[in-house]
């Protein structure tokens, strides 16, 4: 438990700030920062609930903090933006020590520093049940250049940034063996994909600054779900070829049906899926190669009414918007 709220807030408050636009961070009724006429402002929020999105069996407090911030930065990346600030609300049940709570903040700070982000506020309350952490992230993007889901057009190619499936594979290992099992080095990389996902800010920035018409979504709920969101928002059909989906090098020894499930429905990879014209891809893929960021074509966009299809072994099937269920397979995945 937190002995003194104000003492606790003092401990998580950073001595130096990074963003030049910050006027007042933690310590008053609200944070104040300057906005610029060159940029649009971005803001998003995500919540992680103990027992739904994580347990002490799958994540250390440090990892929880890192991931709670990472999933929000990923949303900024999926708009093409630059993350700037974050705010954190924690509802703390009995049984969590102040040391553990400070570890959560250490995890956030580790990732936040990589992007020169400042923690500028939050709220601290008690919870009768599990720990709940809600993170809000602010970001910015050059005016009028946000990469929306509704920007897919028929004739576009569909692309994925990175390789899919590692996070879901890592979670299955954690649920089976727990945090402290003697994992192989490959297994450790799978665990890390689940526990410490890296948001794709650099890729998002390359897309946003390319000047091309690009639709973009981050892969939080699985490729099937995210592709359906693009198809619906753009009112087109997406046709994905299963064999073209880049699968994580570290899951290739697992049975194919598991690899398939993790890649399509696994989620939590926090990579990016999107669409752009063939000509744009020719131009952009060169830059991605130079920066060693993997960019792969997995299908094409056609005229349609918001559906996603997948071809596998020369058979075409509808790919439904179903996500993988982490802690209660087939029941509650924390969304309502």
Chain contacts with ligand ADP (rule: CB under 6 A): 9, 12, 26-29, 88, 90, 119, 121-124
- CA 336, CA 327: separation in Å to the nearest integer? 15
Please report how close the Cβ of residue 61 comes to ligand ADP at its closest, in angstroms: 14
Binding site partner of 253, from Mg ion, ligand ADP, none, Cβ cut-off 5-8 A by kind: none
Binding site partner of 121, from Mg ion, ligand ADP, none, Cβ cut-off 5-8 A by kind: ligand ADP
Please report how close the Cβ of residue 44 comes to ligand ADP at its closest, in angstroms: 17
Q: Which strands sit side by side in the sheet containing 132-142, from one edge to the other?
A: 39-49, 132-142, 82-92, 118-126
Using CB under 5 A, which of the segments 57-65, 117-125, 302-310, 321-329 binds Mg ion?
117-125
Binding mask of the shown chain, residues 120 to 159, with x at each position contacting Mg ion by CB under 5 A: ---x------------------------------------
Please report how close the Cβ of residue 154 comes to ligand ADP at its closest, in angstroms: 46
Closer to ligand ADP by Cβ: residue 135 or 264: 135
What number of H helices and E strands is found in the chain? 9, 13
| Residues contacting 55, CB < 8 A, separation 6+ | 327
Binding site partner of 108, from Mg ion, ligand ADP, none, Cβ cut-off 5-8 A by kind: none
Please report how close the Cβ of residue 173 comes to ligand ADP at its closest, in angstroms: 31
Binding site partner of 124, from Mg ion, ligand ADP, none, Cβ cut-off 5-8 A by kind: ligand ADP
Tokens matching residue 305: 């009414």
Binding site partner of 26, from ligand ADP, Mg ion, none, Cβ cut-off 5-8 A by kind: ligand ADP
Closer to ligand ADP by Cβ: residue 128 or 330: 128
Closer to ligand ADP by Cβ: residue 124 or 277: 124
- CA 189, CA 163: separation in Å to the nearest integer? 13
Binding site partner of 88, from Mg ion, ligand ADP, none, Cβ cut-off 5-8 A by kind: ligand ADP
Burial of 299 from C-beta contacts in 10 A (0-12 / 13-18 / 19+): buried
Binding site partner of 49, from ligand ADP, Mg ion, none, Cβ cut-off 5-8 A by kind: none
Is 112 in contact with 58 (CB distance < 8 Å)? Answer: no
Please report how close the Cβ of residue 10 comes to Mg ion at its closest, in angstroms: 15
| Mode of pairing for the β-strands spanning 82-92 and 118-126 | parallel
In angstroms, the Cα distances linking 15 to 12, 34, 100, 101 are: 9, 20, 21, 18
Closer to ligand ADP by Cβ: residue 123 or 286: 123
Is 158 in contact with 240 (CB distance < 8 Å)? Answer: yes
Q: What are phi and psi of 328, to 5 degrees?
A: -130, 85
5 lies in the site for Mg ion, by CB under 5 A: no
Please report how close the Cβ of residue 134 comes to ligand ADP at its closest, in angstroms: 10
- CA 205, CA 215: separation in Å to the nearest integer? 13
Q: Which helix (H) or strand (E) holds 86?
A: strand 82-92
- Interface positions with Mg ion (CB under 5 A): 123
């Amino acid at each position: 438990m937190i002995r003194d709220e104000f003492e606790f807030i003092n401990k998580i408050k950073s001595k130096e700030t990074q963003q030049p636009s910050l006027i007042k961070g933690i310590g008053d009724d609200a944070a104040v920062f300057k906005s610029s006429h060159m940029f649009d402002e971005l803001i998003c929020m995500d919540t992680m609930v103990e027992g739904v999105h994580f347990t002490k069996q799958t994540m250390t407090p440090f990892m929880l903090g890192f991931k709670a911030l990472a999933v929000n930065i990923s949303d900024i990346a999926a708009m093409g933006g630059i993350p700037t600030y974050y705010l954190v609300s924690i509802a703390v049940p009995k049984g969590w020590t102040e040391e553990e709570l400070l570890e959560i903040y250490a995890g956030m700070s580790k990732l936040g520093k990589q992007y020169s982000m400042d923690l500028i506020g939050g709220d601290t309350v008690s919870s009768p049940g599990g720990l709940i952490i809600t993170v809000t992230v602010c970001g910015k993007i050059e005016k009028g250049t946000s990469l929306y889901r509704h920007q897919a057009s028929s004739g576009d190619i569909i692309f994925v940034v990175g390789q899919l499936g590692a996070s879901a594979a890592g979670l299955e290992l954690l649920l089976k063996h727990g945090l402290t099992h003697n994992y192989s080095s490959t297994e450790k990389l799978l665990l890390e994909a689940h526990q410490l996902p890296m948001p794709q800010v650099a890729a998002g920035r390359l897309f946003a600054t390319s000047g091309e018409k690009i639709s973009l979504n981050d892969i939080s709920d699985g490729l099937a779900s995210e592709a359906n969101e693009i198809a619906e928002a753009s009112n087109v059909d997406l046709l994905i070829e299963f064999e073209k989906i880049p699968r994580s090098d570290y899951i290739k020894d697992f049975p194919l049906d598991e690899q398939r499930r993790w890649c399509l429905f696994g989620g939590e990879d926090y990579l990016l899926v999107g669409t752009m014209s063939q000509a744009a891809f020719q131009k952009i893929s060169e830059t991605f190669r130079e920066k060693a960021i993997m960019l792969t074509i997995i299908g094409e966009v056609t005229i349609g009414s918001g559906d996603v299809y997948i071809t596998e072994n020369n058979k075409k099937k509808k790919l439904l918007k179903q996500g993988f269920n982490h802690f209660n397979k087939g029941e509650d995945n924390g969304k309502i």
